[in-house]
Amino acid sequence: MVSMSSLLLSVLVLACSADDGGEVAVTDSLDVTSDVGTGLMDAVGLDDASPGPGADVVLSTDGEGADVPASSDAPSGDDVARTEDTATPVDVEPTPDVADVDEPTGDVDAATDDVGPVTVTATLASPDDAVASYLMDPSASAWNLFGGDTVPLGRHFGEGHVSYFTALRFAGLAVPAGATILSARLTVSPTNEVDSNNPLWLDVFAEKAGDSAPFDPTSTATGRPDQRPRTSAEIDHWLVRCNATCTDLTEFDCEQRQRDCWDREVRFTCPKDLAPLVQEVISGDGWASGNALTLLLINAATDEDGAKYEGFRSVTGVDPERGPAYSPTLEVVWE
């Protein structure tokens, strides 16, 4: 064994404590004296101030060679192992896998609050969906009911010029119960030519029913248009003119007054918004999307209005020869 003088090793032993932030503080320093021959070690406290974090520690070899600086910034693996038990454990939330993250669920179709305006168009499904009734013989209370390819509006041409009660039944109206009706427009195709010297006064209602029953032209006892319950909402005394350029005041300012402007080749859209009528039905008992809604167009003119209000006009119902493009339509915008 090689005899050597006592080797004084001046080392800093760091007693580490970790605060909540994970910082390490130097709390003590020891002078370790080793007898190389015996392997005995004594430790005594030093009066020198402890070096701060990151300070270099000098290993003295007493003439065995040059002083070698050892950086405390890079502790050895053994140093890390010795300080492990004194560190306060830090709880770390596990990072979930993408597959474990819950995605929002729900039926998009079930959410109706955010639905924007929706436009639906209904038409007539059967010739029996366009009918008119009128009183043939007031003394006998005899009524007539007819319809199909053409239906009249206004007053009967016979003596007394009794009123027509015209009904247009729109089956399969795809508007959910409780919807808000923004607009409702009726469009028809004329079947005769009439100029503005022959206007009509019409009252327009909807049948007050959650699902309008079909009409039966073979039975005049019950279920006629004049017998159907009406909505409180109505279009009162609609003056039917040839087009929207005519006003409700007088026929003399109508640009087409001298022409047959009720044109059988030009579709006519009612300028009156029927939204209040449709809303009353949609908001009433028994309505469901896909049910049928009937519009009632009833003469409002009397003999006191003069001879020019004694006439009638006619529109296409369901005419196989003209085709479905000529049938009445009801366009409803809802949200």
Q: What is the per-residue pLDDT for 196?
A: 60
Closest alpha carbon to 146 in 224, 214, 211, 213: 224
Q: Which of 86, 105, 138 is the endpoint of a domain?
A: 86
Q: Can you point out the beta strands (E) in 91-227? A: 118-123, 130-137, 142-147, 150-154, 165-170, 181-188, 200-206
Dihedral-angle region of residue 105 (phi above 0 means left; psi in -120 to 50 means alpha; beta otherwise): beta
Position 158, amino acid: G
Residue where a domain stops, chosen among 86, 106, 138? 86
Say yes or no: 149 and 272 in one domain. yes
Please tell me what DSSP assigns to residue 7.
Answer: E
Distance CA 293, CA 310 (A): 29
Structure tokens at 139: 């003394």
Residue 249: inside a domain: yes
Residue 298, token pair as written in the block = 């009833």
Q: What pLDDT shows up at residue 22?
A: 45
What integer pLDDT is reported at residue 254 of this predicted model?
54
Q: Do 186 and 259 meet the contact criterion of CB atoms below 8 Å apart?
A: no
Does a structural domain hold residue 100? no
In this structure, are 140 and 285 located in the same domain?
A: yes
Cα 167 vs. chain centroid, distance in angstroms? Answer: 33
pTM of the model: 0.64
Mean pLDDT per 10-residue section of the chain, whose length is 335 residues:
40 38 42 42 43 43 45 44 44 48 38 75 97 90 94 91 97 97 96 74 97 95 96 94 54 50 82 97 98 98 90 94 96 98
Give Cα separations from 205 to 83, 230, 231, 236 (angstroms). 90, 6, 6, 9
> What does the block give as tokens for 274?
């029927």
| Beta strands per DSSP E along 138-196 | 142-147, 150-154, 165-170, 181-188
**Within-domain flag for 296:** yes
Q: Is residue 97, in this structure, part of any structural domain at all?
A: no
- What's the CA gap between 70 and 49, in Å, rounded? 18
- Res 42: pLDDT: 44
Q: Convert 238-273 to b/e letters by CB count within 10 Å (16 or more is b).
A: bbbbbbeebeeeebeebebbeeebbbbeebbebebe
Residue 238 located in a structural domain: yes
User: According to the model, what pLDDT value does residue 264 have?
Assistant: 81
Distances (CA, A) of 175 to 144, 214, 311, 322, 330: 33, 19, 36, 28, 12
- Do 122 and 19 reside in the same domain of the chain? no
Domain span at 201: 116-334
Buried b / exposed e across 91-113, counting CB within 10 Å, b at 16+?
A: eeeeeeeeeeeeeeeeeeeeeee
Q: Answer yes or no: is 174 within a domain.
A: yes
Torsion sign over Cα 189, 271, 186, 150? negative
